[in-house]
Amino acid sequence: MEKTACWEVNTMKSIFLTAAFCCGLTGAALAEGWHTSPWGPEDELGAANLITPESVLAASKLVKTGKTYNLGIEVSKTTPAFSPRSMSITVLQPNQITTEGLGTNGMTYNDDIFMGWLGIGPQIDGLGHIGIKHTYYNGFAGAEVAKADGLAKLGLEKLPPIVTRGVLLDMAAFYGQDIVEEGTPYTREDIISAAEAQGVELKKGDVVLFHSGWLNLLDGENPDHERYVKVEPGLGISGAEYLAEVGVVAAGADTWGLEAVPFEKGSDGVFAVHQILIPQNGIYILENMDTRELAKDKAYEFMFVLGVTRMKGAVQMMINPTAIR
C-alpha cells in the first residue's frame, strides 16, 4: 500500500494530551445565550446571513483588473490531511476493455470513483462541524444534528453562494518572516496592526484570509509533509474574538487548521478557536487556502467568490474559491 501523508493518529493524540495537561480540559468560558442566533431559532446559515444583494454589488466594485486567483491547493492521495482522513480516485472504462468502443462509432469514455473524506486539502468547515459538549450552532443538540447518512441540520447544502469582499492579511510580512513559526497566535492586536500596516480595514461581511507562508513547506524536492500537518501558526483566541466582533462571514488561512498549534498557553482545551468561530458565532472556516499569489501581488482587497457543492448533509467540502481584483 502506498504511504500517504496523513497525520499519524499518535501525533494527533499527543496534541490532545498536551492540551489537556497544559491547558486543562475545563471548557471555554461561554457567555450566557452563546448558542442563540441573532437570525432566529431556525437559523442554519450563521454569518452567511450577512451576505446581501447590496454587499455583493459593493464587492463587485473591487474588480479593477479582471485578474483571478485560484485559492484552492491541488488535491491528491498524498495531500497532508488531519488523521485519519485520506482519499483516492479510481478511473474506470466501463464495458470497454474488451471492445473497440460503444456503438458503431466506437465511443469510449473514462469515469472515476472518489473514495475518501470531504475534509481534505482546500476545504470549508460548515456549521455542523464543531460543537461544545454536543451543542452546535444556534443551540441545536448533537442528536438532532448528526445522522449516520448526513447532517439533519446545518448541512452545507443550505449554504448560499459566498460572494463578498475578501481581505488578505499578510502575517509573514507583518512578522518579517518567510514562514511564520509554528504555534504563533495571531492576536487581536496583531490583526489590527497588520491591517493598518496594509492600509485596509476589516468590515462586517468580509472573508478574511491569513497568509503565513506555511504552504511553502510543501514545495520543492523534499516537502516537509510531517511538519506541515503536525503544527502550524494561526489565529489566536483573542484574534478569533475580534473577528467575531467585526462580523466576518468566514476566516481562512494557508494552513491545515487555521488556528495556532501547539495551542496557546492558557487556552481552555483543544481547537478553542474553532469553537469560538463556528458554534458560538456561525463563522465558517476555510483551510489550506493558497494565498501566495495574492501576497506576492499585495492584493489585500478583492472580490471573493465561493460556491459549495450542494451535497445534502455534508459537514465539510473540498473547495476552490476564487479571488478577483
Residue 104 falls inside a structural domain: no
Residue 20 scores a pLDDT above 50: no
pLDDT attached to residue 269: 82
**Range from 81-90, 275-284, 297-306 carrying the lowest mean pLDDT:** 81-90
pLDDT attached to residue 301: 99
CA terminus-to-terminus distance, the chain? 44
**Range from 157-171, 268-282, 289-303 carrying the lowest mean pLDDT:** 268-282
Residue 305 falls inside a structural domain: yes
pLDDT attached to residue 199: 98
Residue 247 falls inside a structural domain: yes
* CATH value at residue 314: 3.50.30.50
- List the domain range (segments joined by +) for residue 259: 9-86+117-324
Query: Cα torsion at 43, 26, 210, 74 (round to 10°)?
Result: -80
Return the axis-axis angle of helices 237-246 and 188-198, rounded to nearest 10°: 60
Residue 50 falls inside a structural domain: yes
Residue 91 falls inside a structural domain: no
Residue 108 falls inside a structural domain: no
Residue 94 falls inside a structural domain: no
Average per-residue pLDDT in the chain?
A: 91
**291 vs 269, higher pLDDT:** 291
Residue 106 falls inside a structural domain: no
Give pLDDT tens digits for 34-79: 778 999 999 999 999 999 999 999 999 999 999 999 999 999 999 9
- pTM for this model (two decimals): 0.90
pLDDT attached to residue 143: 96
Residues in the chain: 325
Pick from 71, 158, 156, 82: nearest CA to 119:
82
Specify the number of domains making up the chain. 1
Residue 3 scores a pLDDT above 50: no
In percent, how much of the chain has pLDDT > 70?
90
Q: Name the pLDDT band for 32 (thresholds 50, 70, 90).
A: low
Residue 54's CB: how many other CB atoms inside 10 A? 9
Q: Name the pLDDT band for 163 (thresholds 50, 70, 90).
A: very high
pLDDT attached to residue 170: 99
